[in-house]
Amino acid sequence: MKFSKIKRGTSSLFIFLIFSTQIQSQVNTKKEPDNNLFTSNELLFRKGHIGITIIPFVCSKAVITKSEDTYEIHSTPQFGFEAGFTKYFHIDIAHSIYTGIYFGAYGRNFNYNIAIEEFGSPPGWSDISTNGAASREFNFMGAVPLVFQKRWFSKDKQFWYATAGTTLRYTPYIEENEEHVFFTPFFKMHFETNPEKKVWLTYNAAGGYSMVLKNNQILSAGVYVNLSFTSFAKGHYQFTVPNQPIVEGNYEVKGSYIGLSLSYIFTRTNKPFKSKT
């Protein structure tokens, strides 16, 4: 009888040890995930990413009002670019939020053409004109985006993406006075950049395609749209051609654009991927 009791106690102890070992094994598994339990795409988005982004774009033309429709006063779309660093925070394999710091240059222009006869000069002389590169100016600004990204994987290490978000923008306040002279002054403009002297928001959306390179970094390209409802630059102009009616109006630049977004993204995953087993 005593031998039987000892045997039953030993059996209970043996079962307890096996059960404890199993629990400890599960705890260790949670602490140190086995890469074999993840697909290559899951491994790719386990850590936050850092990227370099360049966006060459065409921005919208300035909005010009005029008291008289004369002198061919107009603006045209201009080229610009943004570039900077991006930090990605991954929610899961298909969703991320990113922010960063960008700097950009926005082109703008103010064109006109005045027939030389308006100045009482002989017809053989050239018209007075600012059409073309002569009227191009640039505004420089900084930006901090906050954007949500959704991914659809077409195959392993390749995916389509779409983004939507907002961008906080700022450019220093600048006040300028411009004057054009042909024997006598005939044009002047008072111009202010960031007349409100504060930051403003724009809204953006994008879509494109990404692929993982052999070094496990990501190359992305897509169409990027930035929509602005705020005029970050404003001016008032006046034409005072001798013996002609005064022509004047307002000039505003909002900075909406459409461009091509190019990104090189460092995934911090340089070792070869292991497949799920």
Specify the pLDDT at position 257: 97
pLDDT surpasses 60 at 251: yes
Helices and strands (DSSP H and E) totals, the chain:
2, 15
pLDDT band at residue 19 under the 50/70/90 scheme: very low
pLDDT band at 43 (very low <50, low <70, confident <90, very high): confident
Distance of CA 36 to the CA centre of its chain: 36
What is the rounded average pLDDT of the residues 93-104? 96
Take residue 73 and report the two structure tokens written for it: 């006063």
The Cα 153–Cα 157 span in angstroms is 8
Q: Does domain 39-266 have CATH number 2.40.160.20?
A: yes
Please, which residues have CB within 8 angstroms of residue 98's CB and are 6 or more apart in sequence? 51, 86, 87, 88, 89, 145, 147, 149
Res. 177: pLDDT tops 90: yes
Q: Is the pLDDT of residue 199 over 50?
A: yes
pLDDT at 23: 40
The predicted pLDDT at position 275 comes to 44
Q: What is the mean pLDDT of residues 82-105?
A: 96
Average pLDDT of span 230-245:
94
Question: For 8-29, what is the mean pLDDT?
Answer: 44
Q: Is the pLDDT of residue 122 over 60?
A: yes
Name the average pLDDT for the chain. 84
Q: Exposed (0-12), middle (13-18) or buried (19+): which is 28, by Cβ within 10 Å?
A: exposed
- pLDDT tens-digit readout, 137-160: 999 999 999 999 999 998 778 899
Q: Is 2 exposed, middle or buried (0-12, 13-18, 19+ CB in 10 A)?
A: exposed
pLDDT-derived band at 271 (thresholds 50, 70, 90) equals low
With a pLDDT cut of 90, the percent of the chain lying above it is 65
pLDDT value at position 272? Answer: 52
